[in-house]
Chains A and B, each alone.
Chain A
Amino acid sequence: MAGTPTPGDSAAGTAAAIARPPAPQIHTIRDSNHAQLAELPWHLPLADWPETLLGGLPRGISRHVVRYVEIGDEVLAIKETEDKQAVREFDILGALGNLDVPLVEPRAVVTGRTTASGQKLNGALITAYLEFSLPYRALFSRDLARDTGDRLVDALAVLLARLHLVGFFWGDVSLSNTLFRRDADAYAAYVVDAETGELHDQLSDGQRNMDLRIARMNIAGDFLDLQAAGLVAPETDPLAASERLCESYNALWAELTRVEEFSVNERWRIDERIRRLNALGFDLGELTVTTDIDGISLLVEPKIVEPNHHSRRLLRLTGIGANENQARAMLNDLDSFRSAPEIAEVDELDESQAARRWLDEVYKPLIQAIPQNLTRKLEPGQIFYEFAEHRRTMARARQRDIPTMEAIAYFIVDYLANLPDEIRYVDSKKF
């Protein structure tokens, strides 16, 4: 560990070492990171860390100082905050991770920091940089699609509903406190800042409504700030984004939790409800069905709903991990593959057999054909989605089916090579 006296130290050196303040406490999740983390200059305020440590990654402004360092094979985000707060957020992120909530993963917490002269310094929360994630500002500066804002807000509404389902009151819902990964033609949202959050067994309506109230205000602020930065058109209505968030959230929450009353002769409506939940990307883990005292009607209430319906199905069939909408697109492609005449008329494949052939004949050839230097452009799941879209566009333009290998070649050269790297985008404006 840096600063620990060794037997070879000179008397003066030993005296200096003895005079040093106690080393901070570093609690890490990965043991492999501990030694390298311990060597960082914790006796200096984060704002004063030398540029050489930051590996050329940008610095920026926030209510907390945040810096990035490369440790081993990953980039870590270090946020300086009061000891108690750092430990609290570290614990909350860990608990949320155990509940399978999409978030930045906590790696370590550092407490008991002091300067060389013994003056107390704030602690630090260390999280893993979420690869292929983009802050909302980056998406507005890069992606000029007209509905980018809508898609981000929709992703945030899904995230908020998922957080509320597990009993998490966020307390500072905003686009700024969220990171986004591309997810087919949508986005997947991840919690990046949980310092105001609280984890409960179950949220009250007051807590959920407070989160919505905060979201409404913050999202309008986020959009107004984008306008001030010239990243969205002046005629864009920032309040419309806030309203959309509330509407999307309320519609989703109602579908996930609403108690419905059916006649006992309408049991098919239970199946309809399950299908609607699946279409929204959720599985029904547990359903309570109560018959009323006269035996005339059924009260149906989802008790446990779980996200990632399509991701789980894709993983089960193919072993591929992908975001929900990417998985949905791949499953659609798999269905098309299975029903194509050259497959369907020759072999009657069951779903798992078809999945294995699709994996060998479509997915793997694409992923294996991507040159190493282009793997930093997009996640594999997104590469597949973009490839499928590109092939469709080509087929329409040429009015013929495009064989897989030909489509892959054109996709790599004409499309993928021209995209920016998104594996490690760090936005200095956010931090």
Chain B
Amino acid sequence: MTEHPRQVTDDQLLTDLPKGGRMSTVSLNGLSHIYENTTSESVHPFNLFVDTGEFLVLYGPSGSGKSTILRMLHGLETPKTGTILIDGVDITHAAVNDRDVTLALESYALYPHMSVRDNLGFALRVDGLPAEEITDRVETVMDKIGLTEILDSVPGDLTQLQRQTVALARAVVRRPKVLIMDEPVVNLVPEQQSETLALIKELQQEFGLTTIYATSDLEDAKILGDRIAFLDHGRLIGVETPELAEAIAASISDTDS
């Protein structure tokens, strides 16, 4: 196997841990995973810390383990070893409803007869929030992104980009501790991809949401990430800033070729 430039050891990753009890941090400690009826680990044990409000991108080719990591965070897969801490609380084996992790852009589908306001607010209603709080959250989000004028429109009257904005804002209004996204733009046409990436970055920065985003596109990773975690064959190779991403990405390509 080729020597990886700036390869990061588990110890180095752990030394970056911030001190103190900050909110909405994610700490993955010795986390690994193996799929049933397989002998080799889909994710080898790794440590990773995601800071409050950080946009961390999991980057790697298909089969590198990035989606499996998101699925463990979301509660869809059970780790073989290790723990998942959010704000220092161990949620490794918590029920999916008790994690406060939201998968954004699962679907761009909006309810056709409901106004944008109701499309944004209904999940909060299901979560049992009072009406005033729902109104406040919805209007705050739409105000920050300058789209209050469409609040009373129905989806049929929106542009494609506005529909995507509403679909993304639907996750943001829930104020999850951690927002995760799994290659959400991969099925969009190129111009929609770039518009959606810009929108994701804007909303994440505006609301300071701790976000973990999986992609196999290095350019997307560099546009979005505060840091990029590089994965290859289920191993965390290193974590790097976008500026220093090329060299480590090249080493993944080398080993895959």
Contacts and interface: CB of A to CB of B under 8 A. Distances in A.
A169 B113 CA distance: 28
A225 B37 CA distance: 42
Given A61-B156, A221-B122, A228 B106 contact: no
A221 B120 CA distance: 10
Interface string B85-116: 00000000001110000000011110111110
Contact of B187 (A82, A205, A225): A82
21 contacts: A61-B156, A63-B109, A82-B187, A169-B76, A172-B107, A201-B36, A204-B77, A206-B76, A206-B95, A207-B76, A210-B74, A210-B96, A213-B96, A217-B126, A220-B125, A221-B114, A224-B122, A225-B114, A226-B113, A228-B111, A229-B113
B203 interface: no
Nearest to A216: B126
A85 B187 contact: yes
Contacts, number: 74
A81 B114 contact: no
A221 B36 CA distance: 35
Given A196-B106, A196-B107, 14 more contacts: A63-B108, A81-B187, A206-B75, A206-B76, A206-B95, A206-B96, A207-B76, A210-B76, A210-B96, A213-B96, A217-B123, A225-B113, A228-B114, A429-B112
A62 B118 contact: no
Contacts of B187: 81-82, 85
B37 A242 contact: no
B193 interface: no
B123 A206 contact: no
B78 interface: yes
Contacts of A396: none
Interface residue tally on B, bucketed by range: 20 to 34
A12 to B, nearest CB: 33
Nearest to B119: A221
B227 to A, nearest CB: 27
Classify the interface of chain B: helix, strand, loop or mixed: loop
Interface of B: 36-37, 74-78, 95-97, 106-109, 111-115, 118, 122-123, 125-126, 156, 186-187
Contact of A209 (B97, B109, B114, B115): B97
Interface of A: 61-63, 81-82, 85, 169, 171-172, 176, 196, 200-202, 204-207, 209-210, 213-214, 216-217, 220-222, 224-226, 228-229, 239, 242, 429
A204 to B, nearest CB: 6
B76 to A, nearest CB: 5
Contact of B37 (A201, A207, A213): A201
Contacts of A206: 75-78, 95-96
Contacts of A225: 111-114
B97 A204 contact: no
B126 A220 contact: yes
A222 B110 CA distance: 10
Top 8 A-B pairs ranked by shortest CB distance? A228-B113, A225-B111, A229-B113, A206-B75, A82-B187, A220-B126, A63-B109, A209-B96
Nearest to B127: A217
A201 B58 CA distance: 27
Contacts of B78: 204, 206
A61 B112 contact: yes
Contacts of A176: 109
Classify the interface of chain A: helix, strand, loop or mixed: helix
A224 B107 contact: no
B76 A204 contact: yes
Contacts of B125: 220, 224, 239
A204 B106 CA distance: 20
Contacts of B76: 169, 204, 206-207, 210
A427 to B, nearest CB: 12
Interface centre among A176, A204, A206, A210 (most CB of B within 10 A): A206
A62 B109 contact: yes
A228 B97 CA distance: 28
B112 A220 contact: no
Contacts of B77: 204, 206
Nearest to B128: A239
Interface centre among B118, B125, B156, B187 (most CB of A within 10 A): B187
Contacts of B74: 210
Nearest to A220: B126
Contacts of A429: 112
Contact of B114 (A169, A213, A224): A224
B210 to A, nearest CB: 20
A220 B122 contact: yes
Nearest to B94: A206
Given A82-B187, A201-B37, A221 B111 contact: yes
A307 B15 CA distance: 55
Contacts of B156: 61
B112 A242 contact: no
Given A224-B114, A225-B111, A209 B75 contact: yes
Contacts of A216: 126
A62 B109 CA distance: 7
A136 B225 CA distance: 42
A242 B126 CA distance: 9
A85 B187 CA distance: 8
A380 B115 CA distance: 41
